[in-house]
Chain A
Amino acid sequence: MFKSFFLIFLFSGFVYPQRIVSLLPSYTEIIFELGAGDKLVGVTNFCDYPEQAKKKDKVGDYLNPNIEKIYKLKPDIIFMGEWRNDFIKKIKNLKAKTVVINQEKSVEDIYKTIRIISKHINKEKEGNEIIARMKKEIDSSKNKSYVKVYAEVDKDLWSVGSDSFISDVISKSGGINIFNDIKIPYFKAQWEEVVKRNPDAVILFSTGYSEFVSRPLADKIKAAKDKKIYVLTPEERNLFSRPSPRIAEVIKKVSEYLSSK
């Protein structure tokens, strides 16, 4: 009896990872949300949510993780984004199982990410619950205001095309990205074009309010006339650009802002 229990215990310990390293803040949030936060042994310097994540061992930032540190943590499984090919090769030598997840380009892609992570750490039930909860929240905040939105994600007119996560968050919030016809995720827009497309609302990620309205012809833009310029706080900025389960909150907030008079 004891023996078989022991075997099952051993077996489960073998199959389901006990030591997890997450190399993106959004994965860290998902793992905590799935209730496996205690098994996380390493996170990135940017993993600041939930509060417990800050206490975990740091393995550098996601652009430049410290391989030795990861090695010392002896992880069973490593979750990482797809976009560092050279790094993936190095990390595959660690003999830990590496799960490479595609970059999220829409809110639906978060569900995929949650499914992948939950499958690998045997929390599929919890994963489905999160997805169902998110879908419900997002559906309940679906106010189709059809407001034209210009999102400036970085200073000097860096904006987003339809192929980006932020653009999808805007459309889920009931707005329309003015650069929806551009098929690249991030690009530097021409100011003249922004003026011409005349957005009804503006979301500024790091540009200041006064900086925006002091541009020539900014006063011609409807958003400036109606004072519908949303300047994100640093926390909101993180939330907005991070494909985590908390995106449902953002969508709710943005859709309320866009549909408010």
Chain B
Amino acid sequence: MKKNKNLIFYKIFFSALLFFLFSYFSLTIPSDYDKDILINLRIPRFLTLIITGFSLSTAGMILQLLTKNPLADPFIIGTSGSSMLAIIISNIIGLKFYGFEYFFLILFFSVSATLISYRISVLSSSQNTSLLLSGIALNSFVLSIIVLFVIFSRDATVNFFHLSFGSFGYNEYRIIGYSFFIISILFIIISFLIEHIKIMAFDEEKAETLGVNTKRLKLVVFIIAAALTSVSVSVSGIIGFIGLMIPHITRKLFSNADLKILFLINAVYGAFFLLISDLAVKSLFYPTELPPGVISSIAGSVFFIWLVLKREKRNE
């Protein structure tokens, strides 16, 4: 037992080291920059990455735990897409970005998408597949609405079209501050609920006998996951598959860790992955900029197929 703890400690230490190293790279590559560029461009971008990584990987993890579906991911089940739709709608009807009504609208859209996907999957006998299928249906529904908006109110929509594959633009510090505030509150709520989530992920019936209100817990956790996704889509658009890949990787690497620690590690690894892909985005075809979603989707879809094949093999 003690040996295990030591091993985890080393792993965490090593991960943290790598994380700081890549943070440093992210702020200093390419090397010709001055104080202005650092403060006004690179640090906001870096913080945006951290927010996105934290929220997407955490959203993915709690969704996977709660639905007991290893393929759950805010992008796949349609939460990200409907958040983007909400952003476009709020722009068309003239809501202030990051105002109160804005959050209400985006949260409403993302929560309903999550719940719809989940409801449909529960109704069907093969939950794993039907969650994906309802996600596909939701995503294409959202996409077609967005295309309609592009056709009928092009000017209001086109500004947001780059969000569909993500974009680490340059957010204001005010927006970054708000986002950090929101995700810290959500993280605190998660830390309170974590014991319940743990029991429920293990055995739902047992959780009920232990006095956990599973229905309410599910609803709360879905709202948290949707809110996390909304924040990430607001600051950097749709970046798929982070919530799918990262929890699997961290669970593999830190299989003995307590769920509480695992959550934090998972969040950090989400940011870590985005830092690496941002470096690739910035430097591969310099000075051309690629949308970050390209990198994560290439990696993520390969990972996804691998995951499905692995499960198929096990089921045989």
A residues contacting B by CB (< 8 A) are 155-157, 179, 182, 184, 187-193, 195-196, 215-217, 220
Name the residue among B44, B162, B286, B289 with the largest chain A CB count within 10 angstroms: B289
B residues contacting A by CB (< 8 A) are 32-33, 36-37, 40-42, 44, 158-159, 162, 167, 170, 172, 282, 285-290
Is the Cβ of A192 less than 8 Å from the Cβ of B41? yes
Known contacts A189-B288, A189-B289, A190-B288; is-contact A195 B37 (Cβ 8 Å): yes
Contact check: which of A182, A192, A215 meets B37 at CB < 8 Å?
A: A192
**Cβ contacts under 8 Å, A215 to chain B:** 170
- B156 vs chain A, min Cβ distance (A): 12
Contact check: which of A155, A188, A192 meets B288 at CB < 8 Å?
A: A188
Known contacts A155-B158, A216-B41; is-contact A179 B170 (Cβ 8 Å): no
**Cβ contacts under 8 Å, B42 to chain A:** 192
Known contacts A179-B287, A216-B170; is-contact A190 B37 (Cβ 8 Å): no
Q: State in angstroms the CA–CA spacing of A192 and B29 once bound together.
A: 12
Is the Cβ of B287 less than 8 Å from the Cβ of A220? no
- A187 vs chain B, min Cβ distance (A): 4
**Cβ contacts under 8 Å, B288 to chain A:** 182, 184, 187-190
Q: State in angstroms the CA–CA spacing of A195 and B37 once bound together.
A: 8
Q: State in angstroms the CA–CA spacing of A220 and B34 once bound together.
A: 12
Q: State in angstroms the CA–CA spacing of A155 and B150 once bound together.
A: 14
**Cβ contacts under 8 Å, A216 to chain B:** 40-41, 44, 170, 172
**Cβ contacts under 8 Å, B290 to chain A:** 188
**Cβ contacts under 8 Å, A191 to chain B:** 41, 170
Query: Closest residue to A181 on the B side, CB-wise?
Result: B287
Subset of 16 A-B contacts with CB under 8 Å: A155-B159, A179-B287, A184-B288, A187-B288, A189-B287, A189-B288, A189-B289, A190-B287, A190-B288, A191-B170, A193-B286, A195-B37, A195-B41, A215-B170, A216-B44, A216-B170
Is the Cβ of A193 less than 8 Å from the Cβ of B36? no
**Cβ contacts under 8 Å, B33 to chain A:** 192, 196
Query: Closest residue to B169 on the A side, CB-wise?
Result: A191
Is the Cβ of A217 less than 8 Å from the Cβ of B289? no
Contact check: which of A182, A188, A196 meets B289 at CB < 8 Å?
A: A188
**Cβ contacts under 8 Å, B282 to chain A:** 190
Contact check: which of B32, B41, B159, B285 meets A217 at CB < 8 Å?
A: B41
Q: State in angstroms the CA–CA spacing of A220 and B288 once bound together.
A: 21
- B267 vs chain A, min Cβ distance (A): 27
Is the Cβ of B287 less than 8 Å from the Cβ of A217? no
Is the Cβ of B170 less than 8 Å from the Cβ of A190? no
Is the Cβ of A157 less than 8 Å from the Cβ of B36? no
Q: State in angstroms the CA–CA spacing of A254 and B44 once bound together.
A: 36
Q: State in angstroms the CA–CA spacing of A245 and B162 once bound together.
A: 35
**Cβ contacts under 8 Å, B286 to chain A:** 190, 193
Q: State in angstroms the CA–CA spacing of A190 and B41 once bound together.
A: 11
Q: State in angstroms the CA–CA spacing of A183 and B162 once bound together.
A: 24
Q: State in angstroms the CA–CA spacing of A195 and B41 once bound together.
A: 10
**Cβ contacts under 8 Å, A189 to chain B:** 287-289
Is the Cβ of A156 less than 8 Å from the Cβ of B170? no
Q: State in angstroms the CA–CA spacing of A217 and B41 once bound together.
A: 8
Knowing that A192-B41, A217-B36 touch, tell me 8 more A-B residue pairs with CB under 8 angstroms.
Answer: A182-B288, A188-B288, A188-B289, A189-B287, A190-B282, A190-B289, A196-B32, A196-B37
- A146 vs chain B, min Cβ distance (A): 21
- B257 vs chain A, min Cβ distance (A): 38
**Cβ contacts under 8 Å, B289 to chain A:** 157, 188-190
**Cβ contacts under 8 Å, A184 to chain B:** 288
**Cβ contacts under 8 Å, A179 to chain B:** 287
A-B complex: 9 closest residue pairs judged by Cβ atoms: A193-B287, A216-B40, A187-B288, A190-B289, A216-B170, A217-B40, A188-B289, A156-B162, A190-B287
- A153 vs chain B, min Cβ distance (A): 14
- B29 vs chain A, min Cβ distance (A): 11
Q: State in angstroms the CA–CA spacing of A200 and B199 once bound together.
A: 63
Name the residue among B33, B41, B172, B288 with the largest chain A CB count within 10 angstroms: B288
